[in-house]
A and B are shown apart, each in its own frame.
Chain A
Amino acid sequence: MSPTNRTVVVTGIGATTPLGGDAASTWEGLVAGRSGVRALEQEWAADQAVRIAAQIAVEPGEVIPRPQARRLDRSAQFALIAAKEAWADAGYTDKAGEDASVDPDRLGAVIASGIGGVTTLLDQYDVLKEKGVRRVSPHTVPMLMPNGPSANVGLAVGARAGVHTPVSACASGAEAIGYAIEMIRTGRADVVVAGGTEAAIHPLPIAAFGNMMAMSKNNDDPQGASRPYDVARDGFVLGEGAGVLVLESAEHAAKRGARVYAEAVGQGISADAHDIVQPEPEGRGISHALQNLLDNTDLDPAEIVHVNAHATSTPAGDVAELKALRKVFGDDADHMAVSATKSMTGHLLGGAGGVESVASVLALYHRVAPPTINVDNLDPEAEAAADIVRGEARKLPVEGRIAALNDSFGFGGHNVVLAFRSV
């Protein structure tokens, strides 16, 4: 294969999510159909219209030493935890260069978030107002900058081929992985640590999303609040955490005898040009992204057996995505087991594409599609368009090459579809 069209594979995975402090416990929670959503017990939540969220299962302070943690925004803490897990999972024993099996000049990092260091920004503004200028932390700028998570991950692994931070709201994590695939495919890097992170459970974002009428106000039933495809869905539930992959050229992985979870086939990207927040109701932009994926890769629709849908549990968005899948794939959509894992993790915004890529890769690796929980009354429009995995996990074909899609869409009309394939 030419150096500008190299095969990319996934060799490491890491996550810290509302379901568990690592990828294994997250996957276990997904397959078991466990909800990570809980009531917000914080004092500030009392007068919010939305008083539920999918909070992290393992506080990062339990993992990262305090002197290091206090100079990292929460989103960077999540990213670092997930990236270190993925890095070790890929078989690397030290940062690039120290571990001679990877050249730092050929290693990249691409970690994205939707909102950046929002809790640092807001907390330090509180410090400024309450305690004065002198007390504002000198670490504030490197903590709040949106490239903080990617820069910190890049430092941790010693990445010198390029450190990047694509920002596209809730598509950010997926766009990061797509960017990383391109870096390797086109020969800019041999290995890239890529994913998404978000830490936005704070009174301001919750008030703001709540006032947009974007979030579920099902405060009385936290675990039932995120219900994609159910007729009673009333908005998303905010989640937090990170998911990270180690992506590698197939050649580089083979040379060091690395375990390969899946091939990262490529991505399809488009923009709606429709509305700043509303999804285009017929899924036109999503169809365009799916078509781009098919046009730009050798992905065969017959091989696609699973879709980790964007499906955030909003009335408009969930069905538009399914219509697009049906429009582009026709009868091939019949053999695609569609799962909305946000029913369990909540919506991690820029972290979603990272965590759901981890889920998609593990679905192929274990040949199991996690369920969509809380679908008590399936929306007839969803039922007509797609095969939703409801209630319990479903086995995927045990034989042959299979592929999975991970969809992520963001405010601003960003559409990113990633494709992974068994090896």
Chain B
Amino acid sequence: MAATQEEIVEGLAEIVNEIAGIPTEDVQLDKSFTDDLDVDSLSMVEVVVAAEERFDVKIPDDDVKNLKTVGDATNYILKHQA
């Protein structure tokens, strides 16, 4: 069953917490991964791979650069999840 927007944000928050140590409540739709959440380019790859697995979605490398904020990633996953 496809995840809801709320479930995706919650899942991303857990992933970002695990990888960058940011409190889950700070992971909001308008937050930038690099500027607000301490996720550098290498860690972003980890976030993407974890999200792919969790939400059963493929996020090609070419699309990753467009995922600036948690909202961008959430919308992408909503649209592409299997």
Asked whether, in the complex, the Cβ of A134 is within 8 Å of the Cβ of B19, the reply is no
User: Which among A67, A137, A138 is the interface contact of B20 at CB below 8 angstroms?
Assistant: A67
Q: How far is the CB of A274 from chain B (nearest CB, A)?
A: 44
Chain A interface bracket (under 10, 10 to 19, 20 to 34, 35 or more) = 10 to 19
Query: Once bound together, how far apart are the Cα atoms of A70 and B50, in whole Å?
Result: 15
Contact with B along A63-92 (1 / 0, CB 8 A): 001111011000000000000000000000
A135 proximal to B (CB < 8 A):
yes
Asked whether, in the complex, the Cβ of A138 is within 8 Å of the Cβ of B42, the reply is yes
Q: How far is the CB of B33 from chain A (nearest CB, A)?
A: 14
Asked whether, in the complex, the Cβ of B46 is within 8 Å of the Cβ of A137, the reply is yes
Tell me whether chain B's interface is mostly helix, strand or loop, or mixed: helix
B49 proximal to A (CB < 8 A):
yes
Find the A residue at minimum CB distance from B41.
A138
Contact with A along B1-29 (1 / 0, CB 8 A): 00000000000000000111100000000
Measured between beta carbons, the chain B residues less than 8 angstroms from A137 are 46
User: Which among B18, B38, B45 is the interface contact of A138 at CB below 8 angstroms?
Assistant: B45
Q: How far is the CB of B34 from chain A (nearest CB, A)?
A: 15
Measured between beta carbons, the chain B residues less than 8 angstroms from A70 are 19
Measured between beta carbons, the chain A residues less than 8 angstroms from B20 are 67
User: Which among B21, B38, B52 is the interface contact of A66 at CB below 8 angstroms?
Assistant: B21
Interface residues of B in 49-68 (CB under 8 A from A): 49, 52
Measured between beta carbons, the chain B residues less than 8 angstroms from A138 are 42-43, 45-46
Tell me whether chain A's interface is mostly helix, strand or loop, or mixed: loop
The 10 closest A-B pairs by CB, nearest first: A67-B21, A138-B45, A138-B42, A67-B20, A139-B42, A134-B49, A65-B21, A138-B46, A135-B49, A66-B21
Measured between beta carbons, the chain A residues less than 8 angstroms from B38 are 67
Find the B residue at minimum CB distance from A139.
B42
Query: Once bound together, how far apart are the Cα atoms of A137 and B19, in whole Å?
Result: 12
Measured between beta carbons, the chain A residues less than 8 angstroms from B18 are 66
Q: How far is the CB of A60 from chain B (nearest CB, A)?
A: 16
Measured between beta carbons, the chain A residues less than 8 angstroms from B42 are 71, 138-139
List 21 A–B pairs whose Cβ atoms lie within 8 Å, in order of A's numbering. Answer: A65-B21, A66-B18, A66-B21, A67-B19, A67-B20, A67-B21, A67-B38, A68-B21, A70-B19, A71-B42, A71-B43, A134-B49, A134-B52, A135-B49, A137-B46, A138-B42, A138-B43, A138-B45, A138-B46, A139-B42, A139-B46
Find the B residue at minimum CB distance from A67.
B21
Query: Once bound together, how far apart are the Cα atoms of A134 and B38, in whole Å?
Result: 22
Q: How far is the CB of A140 from chain B (nearest CB, A)?
A: 10
12 other contacts beyond A65-B21, A67-B38, with CB at 8 A cut-off? Answer: A66-B21, A67-B20, A67-B21, A68-B21, A70-B19, A71-B43, A134-B49, A134-B52, A135-B49, A138-B42, A138-B46, A139-B42
Contact with B along A351-367 (1 / 0, CB 8 A): 00000000000000000
Interface residues of A in 132-147 (CB under 8 A from B): 134-135, 137-139
Q: How far is the CB of A381 from chain B (nearest CB, A)?
A: 54
Measured between beta carbons, the chain A residues less than 8 angstroms from B46 are 137-139
Measured between beta carbons, the chain A residues less than 8 angstroms from B45 are 138
Q: How far is the CB of B41 from chain A (nearest CB, A)?
A: 8
Find the A residue at minimum CB distance from B16.
A67
Interface residues of A in 117-138 (CB under 8 A from B): 134-135, 137-138
Q: How far is the CB of B70 from chain A (nearest CB, A)?
A: 17
Find the B residue at minimum CB distance from A134.
B49
Find the B residue at minimum CB distance from A141.
B42
Query: Once bound together, how far apart are the Cα atoms of A219 and B46, in whole Å?
Result: 40
Measured between beta carbons, the chain B residues less than 8 angstroms from A66 are 18, 21
Query: Once bound together, how far apart are the Cα atoms of A135 and B50, in whole Å?
Result: 9
Query: Once bound together, how far apart are the Cα atoms of A139 and B45, in whole Å?
Result: 10
Measured between beta carbons, the chain A residues less than 8 angstroms from B43 are 71, 138
Contact with B along A30-74 (1 / 0, CB 8 A): 000000000000000000000000000000000001111011000
* Interface-central residue, A65, A67, A70, A135, by most chain B CB under 10 Å: A67
Q: How far is the CB of A230 from chain B (nearest CB, A)?
A: 48
Query: Once bound together, how far apart are the Cα atoms of A139 and B20, in whole Å?
Result: 13
Q: How far is the CB of B43 from chain A (nearest CB, A)?
A: 8
Query: Once bound together, how far apart are the Cα atoms of A139 and B3, in whole Å?
Result: 29
